[in-house]
Structure 1
């Protein structure tokens, strides 16, 4: 019995085969006409275009959803061809016998490992317009400025060196759409040096996030923007004053729920949250940072991801005077990232433990700046009771009020304590005791170089006696 995925592969494979056959005939026709050879067609416009009206493959659906023109469909299949049938583009390896070199007008990039032809913007313009200057200019605007294929970054025009023409940029299709158009499934990128981001998820819900009501209201405003931004931006008056996208900064001590907050916003709105690894942002290889970050931002835009930058102060701190080429390079990379954040039409959430370390000009870029404070005594009571609820068995003498008053810890610490106590309970086959919890707290304080005796001394100084 065939599975839905296999059915998608069959349908997509047939449609792509027809599109590739069409592309092959268009290339053959263009070259025959260009070199004055005998040709069955007087123009590439006479080549029959595959009919997608009754085609329900993922490939056909994308063409219909985006109302792609014939030119855009040729751009899409040309860009996909190296991934499916690379030998089809071997036509373009013809050499100019006059100059003993490839034909400049065919375009083409020099790949590192691939032995086939990689099309560039010049390739598609030659294919569609030959040397017709007016038509080439019109197509340049149509394909690389107005087309949803490029606006949605499904097809991308690669960057070139400052002294090279834009049309030398390679044409590429995102890995996501290679997977979607071929198998019907969107591939999920894996964390790597080339993709410095990983998905963050949570099994918790809003009730598990213990925040003061005003803070929670600020947080839920982000959720409201996600749910209603599309209707806001359709209003002519609002659209004049509002830009797409939303940038929020969460600040507060470690372990107070900043990552959980970002995860819950994604969960409640049905959007995936991806955390950017800032340690991998500044690459020693010039251009690598832009390329790798570009992948993340491009995917995030097309898939409507929420981008989450943790420990933002490590990269976006107040600028210091540059004293070396390394400093200048790092500042260039940060500048690139700031520009992408500014232009990103989706949701970006940054978190920091040290808001005062952030540059004031950088802070002005945010729609909301929300403090996630350390929990007070009453909030800690809630956290203790909530975390130690469910199936955990507790000794009747466990006193969460006393624990909350004596130990000013965060929700993350309480979760770690619960994990330790659950292991002790299973190992010793008995309920969790107050002593187990205090012992686990001692381990947590030890991570900070403190002891329970240190905490007792601090409490004495505050006049707290137990």
Structure 2
């Protein structure tokens, strides 16, 4: 932490301390408290954040209450101990203990006390700052954790998202990592559009998605179409493995400056009733305020054709699908579902999508382009190897071709050959056929 950042942090903590002391003095002190002046910190991470989100003084205080345990673990304890020198409970202040954290973790009740004291009307008004319509929720900044059934909603822990902790303390944002709480993995590619070899019809449909990504905000906001058009864009990619579905999602993100997250449905779908909805809720809640592309690979796992309800498991499985559809339709960003076979997907689901894009097996012309694009430029191919003949003879996908080239190149390096041998390429093709249960006689 540099000197300027440290100075700004100390100034911010001093302000929050005065705010809390003012409340404590107002409720329990003997002297007449002096209201603290609003904090003014120019050219800081906090001031930039406050300006960007147009936060009021009350909202700024809430942000600081959520942030302070990540900066000064003993902050709340130190202040309260001044008013309770002999120790004891302070239920009005709220707060809970964590599993690892030894200090006080603030709750909604902590916010109510610090800002409104025992003023019932003001305390109730503060509940609105945690609604779905508030900037805290819309931007995914902070929220109140769920509480056990029957307990006050405002007793939920006040949680600021980790990325905003990083942003406000270091100026950088860490990308979320895949976990049970976030069942998605960020994917990216070094390839470019010219590496994606597809037929003209498929490329044109992909161009339509790119157009939506670039101009949807103008359509909704500048053209006032929010009330007429549903938010978000839903598309299904279907076709054999290795035909470019994942690469397309990557390239759409790369060329529109958006992160692409591939959802691991094995982490999402739970055998326990209600857990699948919970896992999906966490994902969409985090994604709704981001400009991400959500890529559900192997969507058959959850969007497969439904059977008649025979037992409770079938009933809840259908509920899970209905919930996912609901969240997808409400999501304001791009959602891509990928399947190897369109026929596996229930037609009731496919009608919900704006676009259905087929990724066909490449033609011989497209396979030739794939061979030429993916062979390394630093080494030649054996003269007897006719790429045009190779493309016509062997009907394999782009992913197969990349695997063959990798195999042949490694063989070339290990044997210290001066060129890539035809025999190694054919061996690689045979291996790809065998992986898919096909026979090939070279």
**TM-score normalized by structure 1?**
0.85
- Aligned CA RMSD, in angstroms, stands at 2.7
- SS for the counterpart of 1:425 is helix
**In terms of mean alpha carbon deviation, does 356-365 or 217-226 score higher?**
356-365
State which drifts further: 114-123 or 155-164: 155-164
Matched, 1:196 2:204: no
1:368-447 maps to which residues of 2 (within 5 A)? 368-388=355-375, 390-428=377-415, 429-447=417-435
Match of 1:49 among 9, 33, 38: 38
1:342 correspondence with 2:325: no
Which whole-Å CA distance do the structure 2 matches of 1:181 and 1:392 have between them?
Answer: 50
Residue 16 (structure 2) aligns with: 23
Cα deviation 1:339-367 (Å, max 9, x = unaligned): 33222222221111122222233223322
Q: Take 2:292 and 2:7, find their aligned partners in 1: how far apart are those partners?
A: 31
Structure 2 CA distance, aligned partners of 1:384 and 1:195?
A: 38
Q: Distance in 1 between matches of 2:94 and 2:308?
A: 43
Task: Give the alignment of 1:55-66 within 5 angstroms.
Answer: 55-66=42-53
Q: CA deviation at 1:67?
A: 1.6
The 5-angstrom pairing of residues 59-208 of structure 1 reads 59-90=46-77, 103=91, 105-142=92-129, 144-208=131-195
Selected match of 2:7 from 14, 19, 33: 14
Q: Equivalents in 2 of 1:72, 1:28: separation in Å?
A: 18
Report what 2:235 is aligned to.
248
Pair 1:294–1:145, CA change in 2 (3 A):
closer
CA distance in 2, matches of 1:437, 1:328: 51
| Structure 1 CA distance for aligned equivalents of residues 9 and 132 of structure 2 | 25
Shift of 1:298: 4.3
Provide the rounded CA distance (Å) in 2 between the counterparts of 1:164 and 1:179.
Answer: 31
Q: CA deviation at 1:321?
A: 4.6
Q: Give the unaligned 5+ runs of structure 2.
A: none
Task: Give the Å deviation of 1:391.
Answer: 2.4
Residues 1:353 and 2:346 are matched in the alignment: no
Q: Work out whether residues 127 and 154 of structure 2, in 8 Å CA contact, stay in contact via their aligned partners in 1.
A: no
Partner of 2:30: 38
SS of the residue 1:240 aligns to: coil
Long gaps (5+) in structure 1: 1-5, 457-466
Q: Which residue of 2 aligns with 1:219?
A: 206
Other structure's SS at 1:77 match: helix
For residue 460 of structure 1, what is the aligned residue in structure 2?
Answer: none
| Partner Cα distance (2:198, 2:347) in 1 | 26
Structure 1 residue 60, shift from structure 2 partner = 1.5
Alpha-carbon displacement from aligned partner over 1:149-173 (angstroms, at most 9, x marks no partner): 2320111222334544432322101
Q: Are 1:15 and 1:60, in contact at CA under 8 Å, matched by a contact in 2?
A: no
Q: Which moved more, 1:14-23 or 1:319-328?
A: 319-328
Alignment partner of 1:451 out of 408, 429, 439: 439
Higher mean alpha-carbon deviation, 244-253 vs 139-148, is at 139-148
Distance 1:237 1:432, change over 3 A: same
C-alpha change, 1:299 and 1:110, in structure 2 (3 Å) is same
**8 Å contact from structure 1 (residues 206, 264) kept in 2:** yes
Give, in angstroms, the shift of residue 147 of structure 1. 3.5
Which one is further off, 288-297 or 423-432? 288-297
Residues 16 and 59 in structure 1, CA contact (< 8 A), matched pair in contact too? no
Measured in 1, the distance between the counterparts of 2:93 and 2:312 equals: 39
Q: 1:287 to 1:117 in 2, by over 3 A?
A: farther
CA contact (8 A) 2:305 2:344 kept: yes
2 CA distance for matches of 1:336 and 1:57? 42
Q: How many residues align?
A: 437
Query: So what's the TM-score if we normalise by structure 2?
Result: 0.90
